[in-house]
């Protein structure tokens, strides 16, 4: 498979993903991949990765997979996500891979997984995304 210029173009992190420590690897074998080296700040009181960290990792990977399928300049917004957590994790490097499975004119459906360094499945998500004409939208006026 030959990589297109879009497959190798680095994607900048947002302040949110930088704060969480996400490292974007971009498109790899049809999936948008993000890694996270776990730190104590990612852990819950139960000393395992907080579910919100895994949720954010998957939401970001799925959304970026959708955006990768759109013409440059277009964007998406999460409509809904369903996530299943399969096993706890306390340390190591996590890898999330998101794939855009189906796209219509106004919606996209994506799915993805988070695995640990051994390749064991930690969480899986499916999501629906509203497709927007621009990457950023202004706030709507309140009526």
Q: Using 50, 70 and 90 to split pLDDT, how confident is the model at 54?
A: very high
CA atoms of 123 and 113, how far apart (whole Å): 6
Burial of 132 (0-12, 13-18, 19+ CB in 10 A): middle
Q: Using 50, 70 and 90 to split pLDDT, how confident is the model at 17?
A: confident
pLDDT of residue 142: 43
CA atoms of 113 and 12, how far apart (whole Å): 22
CATH superfamily of the 5-132 domain:
Hotdog Thioesterase (3.10.129.10)
pLDDT of residue 13: 66
pLDDT digits (tens, 9 = 90+) for 69-113: 999 999 999 999 999 999 999 999 999 999 999 999 999 999 999
Pair 86, 74: CB distance under 8 Å: no
CA atoms of 42 and 57, how far apart (whole Å): 12
């Amino acid at each position: 498979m030959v990589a297109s210029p879009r497959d190798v173009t680095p994607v900048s992190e947002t302040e949110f993903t930088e704060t969480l420590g996400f490292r974007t690897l971009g498109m790899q074998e049809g999936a948008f991949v993000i890694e996270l080296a776990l730190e104590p700040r990612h852990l819950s009181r139960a000393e395992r990765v907080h579910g919100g960290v895994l949720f954010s990792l998957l939401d970001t990977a799925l959304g970026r997979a959708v955006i990768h399928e759109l013409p440059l300049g277009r964007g998406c917004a999460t409509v809904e996500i369903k996530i299943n957590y399969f096993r706890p994790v306390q340390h190591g490097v996590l890898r999330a891979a998101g794939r855009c499975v189906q796209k219509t004119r106004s919606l996209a459906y994506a799915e993805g997984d988070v695995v640990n360094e051994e390749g064991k499945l930690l969480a899986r998500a499916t999501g629906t995304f509203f497709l927007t004409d621009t990457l950023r939208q202004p706030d709507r006026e309140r009526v």
